[in-house]
Homo-oligomer: A and B are copies of this chain.
Amino acid sequence: MTGVFDALTADRGRLDRASAAQRVADVLRDHITEGLLAPGTRLSEEALGEALTVSRNTLREAFRLLADERLVVHKMNRGVFVRILEPDDVADIYTLRLALETAGVRALRSATPERLAAVRTALNRAEAAEAAGDWITVGTADLHFHQAVAGIAGSERIDECMARLMAELRLAFAAVPSARGLHAPFLRRNQTLAGLLETGEIDDAEVELTSYLNDARAVIVRAMTDGSVTDGSVPDGSVTDSSVTDGSA
């Protein structure tokens, strides 16, 4: 049964175009993770349906997808809201992150060259963005760097799990006033980690990774708890309506 067309199989996925619900979810996911939709914003079915020219039913299917990814929360008879992350959530995210990235480090010996190269590529991108002073892009590249670390394991499910985690983490970044203060201290440590990986020092890499993630978690949690200052990235006053202030707990 195997023949000369086997190479096409990989591209088969491109054939089935995404459904409308999938596309809507993609658009909303981008907007949320880019910070264009502030945490707490209510996503009205009618308003969004009109803006995206899709029906309420289709929109609701998209909401299900995003709720499953924890990017929005469903409140019965009240609608869906962009998720507001609590400090506990951040701590929990880092616990899972540690497990996944550790799995990547430990799989170093059996890693494919492409997977390993992706780590360095992401790191280079982060430093280029740093040199340009573009701290938003630095944040993106940093997340990609860590996705690449977990990706060393070569597992489809680990990749997806990390991708979700990183999208969720972006919600936390939105709660930290200064992107620069958040990312700058960790760029050099990324460099250290990448070096250890490239020289195959697995145990040292694991120690560094653990310490790194613990520190990062502490920084974000602290910024969230005493963080009363925002740098004005909140789009406009509509976010301050009453529906935002009530906690999700």
Residues of B contacting A16 in the complex (Cβ-Cβ under 8 angstroms): 75-76
Task: Report the Cα distance A69→B12, complex, angstroms.
Answer: 22
Q: Distance in Å from the Cβ of A10 to the closest Cβ of chain B? A: 9
Report which of B75, B98, B154, B155 forms a contact with A103, defined as CB distance below 8 A.
Answer: B98
If A57-B57, A76-B17 touch, whether A155 touches B65 (CB-CB below 8 Å) is no
- Interface stretch of the complex, out of A43-51, A128-136, A138-146, A156-164: A156-164
| Contact status B93-A157, CB under 8 Å | yes
- A64, CB-defined interface residue at 8 Å: yes
Q: Would you give the 0/1 interface string for A1-45, flagging 1 where the beta carbon is closer than 8 Å to chain B?
A: 000000001001000110101000000000000000000000000
| Contact status B99-A158, CB under 8 Å | yes
- A68, CB-defined interface residue at 8 Å: yes
Q: Would you give the 0/1 interface string for A63-94, flagging 1 where the beta carbon is closer than 8 Å to chain B?
A: 01100110000111000000000000000110
- A166, CB-defined interface residue at 8 Å: no
Instruction: Please tell me how many copies of the chain the complex holds.
Output: 2
Sort chain A's interface into a size bin: 20 to 34
If A16-B75, A76-B16 touch, whether A21 touches B64 (CB-CB below 8 Å) is yes
Residues of B contacting A158 in the complex (Cβ-Cβ under 8 angstroms): 95-96, 99
- The chain B residue with its CB closest to the CB of A19 is B76
- A249, CB-defined interface residue at 8 Å: yes
| Contact status B249-A9, CB under 8 Å | yes
Considering only residues 53-69 of chain A, those with a C-beta below 8 Å from chain B are 57, 60-61, 64-65, 68-69
Task: Report the Cα distance A16→B153, complex, angstroms.
Answer: 39
- A209, CB-defined interface residue at 8 Å: no
- A147, CB-defined interface residue at 8 Å: no
- The chain B residue with its CB closest to the CB of A99 is B103
Q: Distance in Å from the Cβ of A16 to the closest Cβ of chain B? A: 4
Task: Report the Cα distance A102→B69, complex, angstroms.
Answer: 24
Report which of B64, B92, B93 forms a contact with A64, defined as CB distance below 8 A.
Answer: B64
Instruction: Show the binding face of A for B, using Cβ within 8 Å.
Output: 9, 12, 16-17, 19, 21, 57, 60-61, 64-65, 68-69, 74-76, 92-93, 95-96, 98-100, 102-103, 153-158, 161, 165, 249
List 6 A-B pairs, minimum CB-CB distance, nearest first.
A99-B103, A95-B155, A16-B76, A64-B64, A68-B68, A96-B157
